[in-house]
């Protein structure tokens, strides 16, 4: 077994194309983000909740499942906001970003069902907080497509 989280991530998710479904929730002018360790140019990446699909699972069903696993929130999936390719070798993901709305629950850091402990932090970011994150450690396109007000 690889010794560090980055090696584990590369071994588990690397050298294949992964389809991810992601949910963007804005509440009280803040966006919900999760810190993913072992990913990106600086070994961490802030992104909205979401993840890979299980065989036979739709984007919508997968997003509801992932959101509840990672944050404890039950959500309603609304419109598709953006289609993104995340390519930082050896990782390659096709990501569908949806606007979501909370139905029930309180946001708390959950887990990934995989054996790798990638999620390390949950935080709500204001627009200025988001802008102040390192540009290599977040999906920069979110500012362009979202209104935090």
Give the residue-averaged pLDDT of 127-132: 92
What is the mean predicted confidence (pLDDT) over 61-83? 97
User: Of how many residues is the chain composed?
Assistant: 149
Three-state SS annotation for 39-55: CCCCCEEEECCEEECCC
Structure tokens at 132: 């102040």
Fold adopted by 5-103+110-124: Nucleoside Triphosphate Pyrophosphohydrolase (3.90.79)
Q: Measure the CA–CA gap between 141 and 101, rounded to whole angstroms.
A: 20
In this prediction, residues 84-99 reach a mean pLDDT of: 93
Q: How many other β-carbons are positioned within 10 Å of the β-carbon of residue 146?
A: 17
Mean pLDDT to the nearest integer, 125-139: 93
Percent of the chain residues past pLDDT 90, beyond the cut = 71
For the chain, the structural domain boundaries read 5-103+110-124
Is residue 3 very low, low, confident or very high in pLDDT (cuts 50, 70, 90)? Answer: low
Round to whole Å and give the CA distance between 135 and 142: 12
Mean pLDDT on 7-23: 89
How many Å is the maximal CA-CA distance in the chain?
A: 45
68: closest CA among 101, 95, 105? 105
State the pLDDT at residue 9.
84
pLDDT above 90: residue 88: no
For 42-68, give one letter per residue: b (16+ CB within 10 A) or e. eebbbbbbbbebeeebebeebbbbbbb
Instruction: Inform me whether the pLDDT recorded for 12 exceeds 90.
Output: no
CA 25 to the chain's CA centroid: 11
**CA quadruple 11, 43, 133, 68: dihedral sign:** positive
Going by pLDDT thresholds of 50, 70 and 90, the confidence category of residue 2 is very low
Q: Is the pTM of this model over 0.85?
A: yes
């Amino acid at each position: 077994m690889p010794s560090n989280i980055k090696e584990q991530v590369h071994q588990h998710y690397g050298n294949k194309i992964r389809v991810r479904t992601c949910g963007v929730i804005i509440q009280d002018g803040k966006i919900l983000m999760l810190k993913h360790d072992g990913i990106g140019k600086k070994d961490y990446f802030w992104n909205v909740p979401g993840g890979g699909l299980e065989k036979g699972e739709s984007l919508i069903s997968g997003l509801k499942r992932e959101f509840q696993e990672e944050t404890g929130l039950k959500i309603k999936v609304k419109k598709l906001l953006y289609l993104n390719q995340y390519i930082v070798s050896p990782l390659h993901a096709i990501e569908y970003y949806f606007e979501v709305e909370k139905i029930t629950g309180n946001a708390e850091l959950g887990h990934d069902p995989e054996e790798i402990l990638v999620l390390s932090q949950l935080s709500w970011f204001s627009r200025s907080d988001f802008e102040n994150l390192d540009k290599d450690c977040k999906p920069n396109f979110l500012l362009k497509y979202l209104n935090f007000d």
